[in-house]
Amino acid sequence: MAQPAVPLKPQPQMENPLYGRDFLDFADFTPLELQDLLTLAIEIKEKQQKGIAYQPLVGKTLGMIFEKASTRTRVSFEVAMFQLGGHALFLSGHDTQIGRGEPVCDTARVLSRYVDGVMIRTFGHESIIEYARYSTVPVINALTDLHHPCQVLADILTLWEQKGSLKGRTVTYIGDGNNMANSWLIAAPKFGLNLRIATPPGYECDRRVVEQAKGLAKLHGTDLVLTHDPVEAVKNTDVIYTDVWASMGQEEEQQQRLAHFAGYQVNAKLAGHAKSDYLFMHCLPAHRGEEVSADVIDGPNSVIFEEAENRLHVQKAILVALMSHDHKNN
């Protein structure tokens, strides 16, 4: 059976080279483009803090497709569109035809005629790639099983705000080699960050992403360490990062994972090997007493709520950059 022809996305405009592009993972963006997104996020955040109206997306609509549950993602994107002057449309995978078997390519073509951008939170990364292939409007990855770029961009913005610089800093990720770890692998070298990842045996990061990250680390002159030893990984680190041990869709593995991850809890003893002014980060939601102890996540080094807030600001930057061709003039 012949495949449907792939429609063309609008070409980037000179005023904004990101206009019309997709935001699926960090591999598609240069370090300068990613730095520009952070700078734009800071500018938008400062406007909001000063009470300055900034609405470059008046008349624009974002379709939000959710096949996974969400708190921060849904609220931050919906609020972002409202504050930018646009409208967000929530589309549950259970309540749309895509959840009943409509081909992804058909949904993408139809929604492209209604909305100005699409945000997708789903399972398989291949689904969002296929959707973007047939969409003529920008597609934003709000989470797949392979990557979570919006969260990591917010994390890096938080690190920048807290430490004043990025280049040469060391980030240590402890736990499951999941989508969070994968996105850190690609993002870290592009921001000049050294990265250490400690996972239990059998829970390592995606091999294809690791090979890609090794090449990027060599290209950008950053360090990449993959280990099974959490103590070695956190020594003199600037950031300790963790995530839940069983992500959405892995609930049946919960008890097995609790046993395998027992030595990977971020607690005061482990954190004692980091720099005294280390930052503790977590993408949330967190399970206190499992992947992190309460005294760490609620302690003075924790910046989890600053991270959560920054989801709003980086997503505003992404929305403006992809959906407003002349945003630098607004």
Residue 325 is among the residues annotated as catalytic for this protein: no
Q: What are phi and psi of 132, to 5 degrees?
A: -65, -30
Q: For residues 128 and 142, what is the distance between their CA atoms, to the nearest angstrom?
A: 10
The two structure tokens encoding residue 172: 């240590």
Q: Is residue 72 annotated as involved in ligand binding?
A: yes
Per the annotation, does 148 bind a ligand? Answer: yes
Report pLDDT for 14: 52
Single pTM value for the model: 0.94
Task: State the pLDDT at residue 190.
Answer: 98
Q: Is 151 an annotated catalytic residue?
A: yes
What are the Cα distances from residue 223, in Å, to 2, 28, 51, 71, 215?
A: 46, 21, 41, 34, 11
DSSP string, 1-32: -PPPPPPPPPPPBTTBTTTT--BS-GGGS-HH
The long-range contacts involving 128-131, CB below 8 angstroms and separated by at least 24 positions, are 128/24, 129/24, 130/104, 130/105, 131/104, 131/107
98 token code pair: 């895509």
Q: What is the pLDDT of residue 266?
A: 98
Give me the pLDDT at residue 329, please.
41
Q: What is the pLDDT along the chain (330 residues), one digit of tens a residue?
A: 566 777 777 665 556 789 999 999 999 999 999 999 999 999 999 999 999 999 999 999 999 999 988 999 999 999 999 999 999 999 987 777 766 678 889 999 999 999 999 999 999 999 999 999 999 999 999 999 999 999 999 999 999 999 999 999 999 999 999 999 999 999 999 999 999 999 999 999 999 999 999 999 999 999 999 999 999 999 999 999 999 998 766 677 888 999 999 999 999 999 999 999 999 999 999 999 999 999 999 999 999 999 999 999 999 999 999 999 766 544
CA dist., res. 319 & res. 292, Å (int): 33
- Contact criterion met (CB below 8 Å) for 105 and 130: yes
Identified catalytic residue from 176, 243, 257, 282: 243
Catalytic residue among 151, 176, 265, 327: 151
- Name the token pair of 155: 């994390």
Is 288 among the catalytic positions? no
* pLDDT score, position 5: 76
Query: What tokens were used for 10?
Result: 């609008």
